[in-house]
């Protein structure tokens, strides 16, 4: 019996220690989860893997416009705009939704919208389902404001990306990014955001709310509408390559180029050969015309920069230094 006690007691002690460790670890995991689902701006914007660290530098430099507004409710769903970044190359809008009365079941929220400024310049528009109501909304808007409707000319953005950043069953924050290679976005003092249709995932399946009527009017700071940028060009020509635009602003970098060979690749490098990773890219037509967008602002770029070209077989065609345009 004594022998059995000597065996059982150490086993019980080990089991108790394991239970204590498991309890501590479980509590730590719960705390971490609560932190991740926080809607505080410091967690919401800057702790996400898909958002580059340079956004933090952008915020520190005063180029993140924050809006302390209450939720506006439509069909028991709340919406508000929390943050905006506007540069020559892109517009980023954080839209928060409150689904307290319509519980979310998945990280799935998309919406149809129109974004325009005080001069009725349409910065962006999207209709995800090609529904007639959304198209009619845009056409009616153009008629009311005396704008000739030609989607390829009227809409300034060339691409848009949705990224739902924070999720729990009650709230979600959606980052909408609009980019352009047509020309610079206007130096707007006000922007307006109309959300006209919302699709989301609930416990009863996907729902589309066709009669959304959220309208947000946002005043931008003088720093944003008086922003400056730097343009670069190639120091030397490379046969077959045309660089239409290299524009660096306080918040981002755009490189737009055309190359004669389908599948050729352009990389953006510093003097040590370190490659900058684009946050998004757009290919047009036969993939010989493309634009690349980077979350790198003009204060964080190294002094010496290069473009490197490789063909579709991965062979280097050439590397050329960039210089600032006068």
Within-domain flag for 43: no
Per-residue tokens: 53: 């660290």
Q: Does 116 have pLDDT greater than 90?
A: yes
Give the range of the structural domain holding residue 22, as residue numbers without chain letter. 1-36
C-beta of residue 114 within 8 angstroms of C-beta of residue 204? no
Whether residues 143 and 166 fall in one domain: yes
Whether residues 159 and 190 fall in one domain: yes
Within-domain flag for 72: yes
Q: Encode pLDDT of 291-300 as tens digits.
A: 888 878 787 7
Residue 56, domain CATH: 2.60.40.1630
Neighbours of 68 (CB within 10 A): 6
Whether residues 77 and 217 fall in one domain: yes
Mean pLDDT for 248-264 is 84
Out of 179, 206, 225, pick the residue that ends a domain: 225
- Average model confidence (pLDDT) across the chain: 77
* Region at 263 (left for phi over 0; alpha for psi -120 to 50; beta for the rest): left
Q: How many domains does the chain have?
A: 3
Distance CA 9, CA 4 (A): 9
Whether residues 66 and 184 fall in one domain: yes
Neighbouring residues of 229: CB distance < 8 A, sequence distance ≥ 6: 87, 88, 184, 247, 248, 249, 250, 298
Whether residues 184 and 318 fall in one domain: no
Residue 239, domain CATH: 2.60.40.10
More confident residue, 285 or 30: 285
pLDDT for the residue numbered 41: 35
Residue 151: pLDDT band with limits 50, 70, 90: confident
Mean pLDDT for 66-72 is 92
More confident residue, 175 or 12: 175
Q: Which residue from 95, 83, 243 is spatially nearest to 171, judged by alpha carbons?
A: 95
Q: Does 61 have pLDDT greater than 70?
A: no
Distance CA 62, CA 182 (A): 26
Whether residues 66 and 152 fall in one domain: yes
Within-domain flag for 214: yes
Whether residues 173 and 258 fall in one domain: no
Mean pLDDT for 265-286 is 83
Q: Which residue from 199, 247, 224, 237 is spatially nearest to 318, judged by alpha carbons?
A: 237
Out of 202, 225, 248, pick the residue that ends a domain: 225
Least reliable range by pLDDT among 47-51, 63-67, 162-166, 292-296: 47-51
Within-domain flag for 41: no
Distance CA 250, CA 301 (A): 11
Whether residues 60 and 196 fall in one domain: yes
Distance CA 113, CA 178 (A): 12
Distance CA 170, CA 89 (A): 33
DSSP single-letter state for residue 255: E
Q: Does 194 have pLDDT greater than 80?
A: yes
Whether residues 9 and 88 fall in one domain: no
Within-domain flag for 44: no
Rg (CA), the chain: 25
Within-domain flag for 65: yes
Distance CA 198, CA 111 (A): 4
Within-domain flag for 300: yes
Residue 205: pLDDT band with limits 50, 70, 90: low
Out of 188, 210, 225, pick the residue that ends a domain: 225
| pLDDT more than 70, % of the chain | 75
Residue 286: pLDDT band with limits 50, 70, 90: low
Within-domain flag for 42: no
Whether residues 24 and 111 fall in one domain: no
279: three-class secondary structure by DSSP:
coil
Residue 32: pLDDT band with limits 50, 70, 90: very low
Distance CA 63, CA 60 (A): 8
88: three-class secondary structure by DSSP:
coil
Least reliable range by pLDDT among 36-45, 216-225, 280-289: 36-45
More confident residue, 234 or 6: 234
Whether residues 67 and 194 fall in one domain: yes
pLDDT for the residue numbered 20: 43
Residue 34: pLDDT band with limits 50, 70, 90: very low
Least reliable range by pLDDT among 12-16, 232-236, 274-278, 318-322: 12-16
Whether residues 272 and 126 fall in one domain: no
pLDDT for the residue numbered 219: 96
Mean pLDDT for 81-94 is 89
pLDDT for the residue numbered 280: 73
């Amino acid at each position: 019996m004594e022998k059995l006690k000597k065996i059982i007691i150490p086993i019980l002690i080990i089991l108790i220690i394991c239970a204590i460790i498991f309890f501590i670890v479980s509590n730590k995991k719960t705390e971490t989860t609560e932190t991740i689902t926080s809607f505080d701006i410091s967690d919401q914007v800057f702790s996400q893997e898909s958002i580059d660290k340079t956004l933090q530098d952008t915020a520190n430099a005063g180029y993140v416009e924050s809006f302390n507004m209450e939720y506006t409710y439509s069909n028991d769903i709340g919406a508000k705009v929390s943050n905006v970044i506007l540069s020559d190359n892109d517009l980023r809008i954080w839209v928060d939704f409150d689904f307290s009365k319509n519980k979310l079941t998945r990280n799935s929220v998309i919406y149809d919208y129109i974004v325009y400024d005080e001069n009725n310049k349409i910065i962006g528009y999207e209709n995800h389902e090609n529904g007639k109501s959304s198209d009619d909304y845009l056409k009616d808007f153009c008629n009311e404001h005396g704008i000739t409707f030609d989607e390829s000319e009227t809409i300034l953005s060339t691409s848009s990306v949705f990224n739902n950043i924070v999720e729990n069953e009650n709230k979600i924050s959606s980052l909408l990014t609009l980019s352009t290679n047509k020309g610079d976005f206007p130096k707007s003092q006000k922007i307006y955001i109309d959300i006209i249709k919302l699709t989301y995932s609930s416990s009863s399946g996907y729902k589309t709310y066709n009669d959304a009527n959220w309208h947000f009017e946002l005043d931008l700071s003088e720093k944003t509408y008086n922003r400056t940028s730097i343009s670069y060009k190639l120091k030397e020509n490379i046969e077959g390559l045309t660089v239409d635009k290299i524009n660096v602003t306080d918040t981002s970098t755009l490189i737009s180029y055309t190359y004669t060979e389908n599948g050729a690749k352009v990389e953006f490098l510093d003097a040590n050969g370190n490659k900058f990773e684009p946050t998004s890219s757009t290919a047009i037509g036969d993939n010989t015309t493309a634009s690349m967008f980077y979350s790198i602002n003009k204060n964080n770029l190294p002094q010496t920069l290069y473009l490197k070209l490789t063909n579709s077989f991965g062979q280097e065609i050439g590397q050329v230094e960039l210089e600032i345009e006068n």
